[in-house]
Amino acid sequence: MVSIQDKNYKILRVNQAYADALGMTPKEVIGKKCYEIIHGTKEPMPECPHKITLETGKPKSFELYDASKGTYSEVLTYPIFDGQGEVTSTVHLIRDISQRKKAEVEQQQLRAKAETSSRLATIGEMAAGIAHEINNPLTGVIGFSELLMEQDVSPEIKEQLKIINDGSLRVKDIVKRMLTFARQN
């Protein structure tokens, strides 16, 4: 969409794409104020690129989201100078950047998924390392507690050895689940 607007925000010229986007003919658009037909307001928006270009004499870029259509547009304004170097009007270029925005969001989601996968892999490696570190001394505790329970010891000591053995077997099961988790990742 292309248009030329004067200092008073009045549209001087438009291309067919601009008029089509508004559901009007070029003749119907010319002479109207841009903020009235684009935004439906009685005055320009504070971040209006046309206003900024008029004030600074420099090109301005602005992204606009239309919630009703779910589209993003990039608005570019360029100054038009008279013979004395004064800005008399601006050229507006408006292009639909919805596909680019969608691609940016998808790329961000893919990066987030990759980061999550990387974190899970790291957690899996850590879990495997912890499991092996626990498993080595645990094997000794289980083996020696079972050997001692077979010895001729008092029932009270056998009871305590059984508690040690049962607790060790519970830890062994937890370690086994940690290793299973680590292998999944």
Residue 127 is predicted with a pLDDT of 82
pLDDT (0 to 100) of residue 68: 82
The pTM assigned to this predicted structure is 0.57
β-pair partners for 14:
3
Kindly give the interhelix angle for 155-184 and 98-150, rounded to the nearest 10 degrees.
160
Q: Where are the alpha helices (DSSP H) in the chain?
A: 16-22, 26-29, 34-38, 49-56, 98-150, 155-184
Residue 33 has a pLDDT of 93
Residue 107 is predicted with a pLDDT of 93
What are the mean pLDDT values of the chain's consecutive 10-residue runs (185 residues total)?
94 94 92 88 87 93 84 92 93 91 91 90 84 87 92 92 93 86 65
> How much is the pLDDT for 136?
85
Residue 143: DSSP 8-state: H
Interatomic CA distance for residues 107 and 45, integer angstroms: 31
- What per-residue confidence (pLDDT) applies to 184? 61
Strand runs labelled E in the chain: 2-6, 11-14, 60-66, 71-81, 87-96
